[in-house]
Amino acid sequence: MERLTGIGVSPGVVLGRAVVLTQRTEVMRFPIPPDRVEQEVAALLRAQAASKQQLQDIKARVEHGPGSELAALFDAQLLMLDDPMLVGRAEAIVRGERVNAAWAVHRAYEELYHVFMAMEDPYLRERETDVADVAGRLRLNLRHGAKGPKELLSQIDGPSVLIADELTASIAAQLDWSRVQAFATDAGSRTYHTAILARSLKVPAIVGLHDASLRIAAGTPVVLDGTTGELIVAPTAEQIDEAHRRATRPRRRGMREAETGPVLTTDGVRIRLEANIELLEDLPFLNEHGAEGVGLYRSEFMLSGRPIESVTENDQYALYRSLIEQVAPRPVTIRTFDLDERHFAGPGRAPERRRTRPGLRGLRLGLANPAVLRTQLRALVRASAHGPLRIMFPFVTAVEEVRQARAMLDDVVSGFSRTEGVRIDPAQIKVGAMIEVPSAALAADLLAPEVDFFTIGTNDLIAYCLAVDRTDDRVSDLYEPLHPAVLRLIRMVRRAATRHHIPVSLCGEMASDPALVGLLVGLGLTEFSMTPGAIPIVRHVIEELSAAEARRLAGHALRLATAAEIEQYLFDALAASAIQRSPLS
């Protein structure tokens, strides 16, 4: 038995088994029942087979291109894939500890990482990056078909207590709280956005436990007291009896059925809510949660680790057409491939353990590989005949990039008329730019005449504005959506769009954070795209919100000097009045 003490932020006593979410490593750890062990092992072996095929494809491609003598380097990764210290060890962890396969792969990789780091030979030590790449590929293939925390948590049995290093409000808003009865996080304070949401949902919660996600094993019984801030790990029989006696079993209202019809603030401002999706399998969630369209389809997810050249124009056309037809008459916004150089892998570009993403990425990479971009544009133009389509270019940094991309698109459209006798009206295809780096935000007034719409991608915009890599735990706490510079950039983009009479939407995690959406409405934004599961609660928040009051609050927030001051101000004024009065409270 062990007692951990943090900050109780939402009252109530709950007894359950721990489910551990470690977002910094993008891996979730949860216990599995005995009868699911073979299923999890089978998934691991399928991921191994898929990874092997992908590596063999990459090796074959390299063998027939420049630097063919280096194709043998991928033999090392294939050997690692068969090494019993990786997949074999992961299988042993699944069987011995009865945890999910993705976590077992992560554990096996961490063990190998320490082995490599102990080597004196620098050359051998650097081979750890190959192990990291292979482990990452295995996890990617394990994720295929079961994506985020919401889907993974739906697989757990019985009442559970979520133990997380951090838990964003956007993820918390999507969870099934009939399965997850309480949560505790390493980070956070009473004004933590997720703490506000926990009180609104009446979910017992503790924050500020520092390293609980590392100390508590998945499946361990815990007693969480959200009033005292005490978490008892592996409680005694007497403590379990006491927890049963004290358990408040708060009665929470379930999420309401998906509402349809326009979303309006209390003073009649129309707000549009669309969905971000990655796979066609996500489409049923649009209707389930009342999305008004697809605001962001991440086309790069169709690759699923395959070489980009292996996805033909016809493959892409079939997928885009299916997507558009299933969503029609609602619009679909498809983002062209947002890839970086890892997806054009060559021996000279071997990935590092802690990657950084600037460089050739998104539209830059497409323009540097025009055959790839042209193939995708041809597929998109063909699919546009089947319903309303918007094409969005990612990672735009300058006007010249948009002009080059539009010129290629115009050439593709005219090419259909010249060579295939198919007349396509260019005006029916709207073209937009993602605003996700400061240069694009600062030049938004120059970009606006070149496109038909803007979409603000806040995840990257915040990271590049504040020079913070969220995967680097040395600086991840500096990732702050409420930083004054971030809010000013968002307002700047919205104003440029308004002056040039083009729509602007916002699609990052900020859009699905119920504690922030009021501020965004106050900044003048009226279109949001988010993970489908977040739509109902964001809708509730907006329908309790006065846009005029939100503008007043935003105006004051923009005069404050620090993110902490803005957060405290919103907590006192906006969150307390809007969220806590929501129909869920």
- Between CA 69 and CA 67 the distance in angstroms is 5
Structure tokens that stand for 179 in this block: 């399965």
Residue identified by tokens 């590092």 is 352
What 3-state class would DSSP assign to 118? Answer: coil
Q: First CA to last CA across the chain, in angstroms?
A: 34
Structure tokens that stand for 530 in this block: 């988010």
Closest by Cα among 73, 89, 70 to 138: 89
Asked whether the beta carbons of 4 and 234 are under 8 A apart, the reply is no
Asked whether the beta carbons of 103 and 88 are under 8 A apart, the reply is no
What 3-state class would DSSP assign to 81? Answer: helix
Catalytic entry in 106, 193, 483, 540: 193
Structure tokens that stand for 537 in this block: 């609660």
Structure tokens that stand for 154 in this block: 């739906």
- Between CA 128 and CA 309 the distance in angstroms is 28
Rounded to the nearest 10 degrees, the angle between the axes of helix 37-63 and helix 101-117 is 60
Closest by Cα among 12, 19, 16, 15 to 185: 19
Closest by Cα among 575, 548, 530, 546 to 272: 530
Catalytic entry in 465, 483, 507, 540: 507
- Between CA 449 and CA 438 the distance in angstroms is 18
Task: State the amino acid at position 29 in one-letter form.
Answer: R
Kindly give, in sequence order, each residue whose CB lies less than 8 Å from that of residue 201, ignoring residues fewer than 6 positions away. 177, 252, 584, 585
Closest by Cα among 432, 455, 312 to 374: 312
Closest by Cα among 473, 470, 450, 474 to 460: 470
Task: State the amino acid at position 571 in one-letter form.
Answer: F
3-state secondary structure 418-456: HHHCCCCCHHHEEEEEEECCHHHHHCHHHHHHHCCEEEE
- Between CA 355 and CA 364 the distance in angstroms is 18
Is 483 among the residues known to form the active site?
Answer: no
Is 507 among the residues known to form the active site?
Answer: yes
Extract the runs of DSSP E, i.e. beta strands, from 42-196: 160-164, 180-185
- Between CA 95 and CA 109 the distance in angstroms is 17
Catalytic residues: 193, 507
